[in-house]
């Protein structure tokens, strides 16, 4: 093996060297080359350079080491976005330990499940959440590091976050170099349909997920807004990706419609990531000067909504879209300002994609099938679900990762998301995409957000129920909304039931908890168009 191969630790050109994709070495590299250049902007106005981030990261890493955290150990975190969350993430990985973030909304049995599954002995936790540990089985947990006021159960060792700080001289030597294939994080799925699963991500997977091969239009000159939580791939992945590129980030605790444009303007963001609902919220705000007085040049819009051209024109940005999830690494990516409505884009280089039926047999052009993915680069996708061999085997059967998402592709190679396989609705012999129903409902000017689910029908199969949240100050007339939809969609897709709610039940990552709506079914406050006598004309050829 030559000197270059020895430095990389392998001879496979597809697997990047440690300095490129391992967080510790990336941070060291940029802090040495550009110590005074800004890396992170916070909501309170603080700005930290690469050198400052490295110094603070090492201080926290030294403190975690004093608590017994060693290379390869799992360390949990339950914090909102902010300086402590970023430092905790970086410090855990700087030690070569595994970063295990928890959703800040977890409590009770859900919190108990992830604590038990994680094997973490140390958790860094917001003080206001620490009391949630009192009434659950804490498994191997022994130490709680508290951010802010609060107290953990007295049986646990606890100390303030500020007491962690040490210096570089106290930092232990690594037992061995941190490798690209080592586990960097365990990120739990949102658990909208069942117990959360811990996704095992290597350093090379987390690097590749929003990496230069797929997000090739994001460079080290960009400053990316991080407003997705640090227990989500959107928060962890973006922070990691911009560090690897030598770019910078601006961190918000969470998405805020009113604060969005002022914050990105003040911090000089050039790139933002918008879930479809976020874009809808911004579009339904009254126009303002702030929405054009910014440095943003590109926006990811996921999924690509029917109003993406309006987003581009109103806010003066280029629109990109992708298909991605925690387990994969952006297999589908679009060109700027996609011309095909509803597309996610095409397969990127280095990835293979198949659309298959229930038996993993490939479906034809225009037919709907579950998306299966694999990559040419080793370790560029998840390597399983932690302590869940059954789920791992099910997801990775036949040598392909099964996404659980239904897609179709056209003759030009563009892919279109249809639905989560488990969210598809079947009504009187017709397959209905809840995603497509929701897109048409949100097109109504009085609707802020919508979720479509199937509920049992007296005629077998499903009827369509849509829960909506109105734009504040705009009442929704169910009959008028139904007539609006009847002009825009096939008769069999027009919902029978409408529920009007102040807010839809969601996870902190803004995913609607459809299982709650599905389980609640037709409630006393649900409007039924058949009871109302509103008939929908069946289209005839």
Question: Both tokens of residue 126?
Answer: 């917001």
For 439-462, give one letter per residue: b (16+ CB within 10 A) or e.
bbbbbbebbbbbbbbbbeeeeeeb
**Kind of pairing between the strands at 415-420 and 343-347:** antiparallel
Element holding 298 (H helix, E strand): strand 298-302
Q: How confident is residue 9, by pLDDT bands cut at 50, 70 and 90?
A: low
With a pLDDT cut of 70, the percent of the chain lying above it is 95
For 423, phi then psi, to 5°, come to -100, -5
Confirm if 473 and 457 have CB atoms less than 8 A apart.
Answer: no
| Per-residue model confidence as pLDDT tens digits over 375-391 | 999 999 999 999 999 99
Cβ neighbours for 290, distance < 8 A, ≥ 6 positions apart: 261, 262, 265
Q: Residue 467: what pLDDT?
A: 97
Taking alpha carbons only, the member of 116, 247, 241, 115 closest to residue 184 is: 241
Residue 478 is given by DSSP the state H
- Mean per-residue pLDDT, 55-78: 97
- Mean per-residue pLDDT, 364-368: 95
| Per-residue model confidence as pLDDT tens digits over 168-221 | 888 999 999 999 999 999 999 865 455 789 999 999 999 999 999 999 999 999
Taking alpha carbons only, the member of 528, 467, 527 closest to residue 502 is: 467
Quick check: 532 pLDDT over 80? yes
Compute the 3-state secondary structure of the chain and give helix, strand, coil in percent, each to the nearest 5.
Answer: 30, 25, 45
The rounded Cα 268 to chain-centroid distance in angstroms is 23
Q: Residue 8: what pLDDT?
A: 65
Question: Both tokens of residue 372?
Answer: 């299966």
Coil/strand/helix, residue 425: strand
CA–CA separation, 396 vs 406, rounded Å? Answer: 17
Confirm if 79 and 150 have CB atoms less than 8 A apart.
Answer: no
CA–CA separation, 279 vs 459, rounded Å? Answer: 38
State the Rg of the chain over Cα. 24
What pTM value is reported for the model? 0.84
Alpha helices (H) in 171-232, listed in sequence order? 203-208
| Per-residue model confidence as pLDDT tens digits over 220-265 | 999 999 999 999 999 999 999 999 999 999 999 989 999 999 999 9
Q: Residue 243: what pLDDT?
A: 98
Taking alpha carbons only, the member of 21, 507, 18, 513 closest to residue 237 is: 21
DSSP string of 369-415?
A: EEEEEEESSTTSS---BTT-HHHHHHHTGGGSEEEEEEEEE-TTS-E
CA–CA separation, 145 vs 147, rounded Å? Answer: 7
Longest distance between any two alpha carbons in the chain, whole Å:
79
CA–CA separation, 464 vs 502, rounded Å? Answer: 20
Return mean pLDDT, the chain: 92
Q: Residue 383: what pLDDT?
A: 97
CA dihedral 382→388→393→399, nearest 10 degrees, is 10
Torsion sign across C-alpha atoms 256, 262, 268, 272: positive
């Amino acid at each position: 093996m030559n000197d270059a191969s020895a430095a990389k630790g392998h001879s496979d050109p597809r697997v990047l060297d440690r300095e490129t994709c391992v967080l510790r070495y990336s941070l060291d590299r940029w802090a040495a080359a550009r110590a005074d250049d800004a890396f992170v902007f916070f909501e309170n106005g603080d700005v930290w350079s690469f050198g400052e981030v490295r110094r603070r990261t090492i201080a926290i890493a030294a403190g975690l080491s004093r608590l017994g955290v060693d290379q390869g150990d799992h360390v949990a975190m339950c914090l909102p976005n902010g300086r402590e969350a970023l430092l905790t993430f970086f410090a855990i990985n700087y030690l070569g330990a595994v970063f295990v973030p928890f959703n800040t909304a977890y409590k009770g049995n859900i919190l108990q499940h992830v604590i038990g599954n994680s094997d973490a002995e140390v958790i860094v936790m917001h003080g206001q959440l620490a009391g949630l540990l009192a009434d659950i089985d804490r498994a191997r947990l022994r130490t709680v590091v508290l951010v802010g006021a609060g107290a953990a159960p007295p049986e646990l060792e606890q100390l303030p976050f500020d007491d962690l700080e040490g210096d570089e001289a106290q930092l232990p030597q690594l037992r061995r170099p941190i490798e690209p294939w080592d586990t960097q994080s365990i990120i739990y799925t949102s658990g909208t349909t069942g117990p959360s699963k811990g996704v095992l991500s290597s350093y090379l997977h987390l690097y590749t997920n929003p990496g230069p091969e797929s997000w090739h239009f994001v460079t080290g000159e960009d400053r990316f807004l991080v407003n997705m939580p640090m227990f989500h791939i959107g928060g962890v992945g973006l922070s990691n990706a911009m560090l690897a590129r030598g770019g910078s980030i601006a961190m918000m605790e969470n998405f805020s419609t009113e604060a969005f444009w002022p914050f990105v303007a003040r911090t000089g963001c050039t790139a933002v990531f918008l879930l479809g609902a976020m874009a809808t919220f911004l579009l339904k705000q009254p126009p303002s000067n702030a929405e054009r007085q910014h440095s943003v040049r590109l926006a990811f819009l996921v999924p690509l909504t029917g109003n993406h051209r309006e987003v581009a024109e109103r806010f003066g940005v280029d629109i990109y879209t992708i298909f991605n999830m925690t387990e994969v690494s952006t297999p589908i990516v679009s060109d700027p300002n996609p011309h095909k409505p509803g597309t996610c884009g095409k397969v990127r280089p280095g990835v293979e994609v198949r659309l298959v039926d229930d038996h993993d047999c490939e479906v034809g052009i225009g037919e709907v099938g579950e998306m299966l993915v694999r990559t040419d680069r080793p370790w560029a996708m998840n390597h399983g679900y932690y302590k869940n061999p059954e789920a791992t085997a099910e997801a990775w059967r036949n040598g392909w990762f099964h996404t659980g998402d239904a897609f179709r592709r056209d003759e030009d190679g563009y892919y279109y998301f249809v639905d989560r396989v488990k969210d598809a609705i079947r009504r009187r012999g017709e397959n209905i995409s809840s995603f497509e129903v929701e897109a048409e409902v949100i097109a109504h000017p009085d609707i802020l957000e919508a979720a479509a689910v199937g509920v049992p029908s007296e005629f077998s199969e499903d009827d369509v129920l849509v829960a909506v949240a109105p734009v504040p100050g705009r009442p929704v007339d169910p009959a008028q909304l139904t007539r609006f939809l009847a002009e825009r969609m096939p008769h069999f897709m027009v919902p029978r039931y409408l529920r009007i709610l102040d807010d839809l039940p969601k996870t902190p990552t803004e995913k609607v908890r459809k299982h709650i709506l599905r389980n609640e079914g037709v409630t006393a406050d649900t409007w039924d168009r058949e009871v109302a006598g509103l008939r929908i004309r069946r289209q005839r050829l």
